[in-house]
Amino acid sequence: MSKSLKRVRAALEAAGLSPEIAEVGAARTAAEAAQSVGCEIDQIAKSIIFRGADTGTAILFLTAGGNKVCAEKATALAGEALGKADAALIRAQTGFAIGGVAPIGHLSPIRAFWDPRLSEFGTVWAAAGTPRHVFPIAPATLLELTGAQVAGFTL
């Protein structure tokens, strides 16, 4: 088991949850993940990372799989210009590789924002630290674990 997957499992267990991490053939995209687990695309909680231009830190936007982050709305929420986060920044702050960034289990605390669309489901699925692993969770529980701010930031 990879270190990334172990961190996600440990974060779920620390929250008193019994992780049901599933290994799927491919979950690099929301569409692949949804097809693999048999859910709607919007039930996939995508972890989109931007780089804050002023702070140089990673900022997480958790969004429904079919939604896209609106750069202008995201910038207004973050209070600073946002740019593309490169693989090195993502790995250094979260401990995850692009394609498997989990919403929890990060190496460093991260500011996070939550797409309200995710809260419309009984269960959402999120990356579990690798491009091949996902886990189901109640949206309210995931929102609490991430400490994300609920806000409209999608197109």
Exposed/middle/buried for 91, CB within 10 Å: 0-12, 13-18, 19+?
middle
Q: Please give the pLDDT value at position 28.
A: 76
CA dihedral 39, 101, 86, 108 (to 10 degrees): 150
pLDDT of 40: 98
Which amino acid, one-letter code, is at 139?
A: P
Go through the domains of the chain in sequence order and give each one's CATH number: 3-150 (3.90.960.10)
What's the rounded mean pLDDT across residues 44-58? 97
Query: How far apart are alpha carbons 81 and 54 in whole angstroms?
Result: 7
Residue 56 near residue 62 (C-beta atoms within 8 A): no
pLDDT at 27 over 80: no
Model pLDDT, residue 36: 94
**Above 80 in pLDDT, residue 73?**
yes
Tell me: the pLDDT tens digits for 6-25?
999 999 999 999 999 999 98
In the predicted structure, residue 29 carries a pLDDT above the cut 90: no
Tokens of 125: 């699925």
pLDDT of residue 26: 76
- Report the range of poorest mean pLDDT among 5-14, 26-35, 60-69, 81-90: 26-35
Smallest CA-to-CA distance from 134 within 42, 17, 46 is with 46
If one counts every other C-beta atom within 10 angstroms of the C-beta of residue 139, the result is 23
pLDDT for 1 equals 83
- Alpha-carbon distance of 118 to 64, in angstroms, equals 5
DSSP-derived secondary structure letter, 69:
B
Backbone angles phi, psi at 57, to 5 degrees: -100, 160
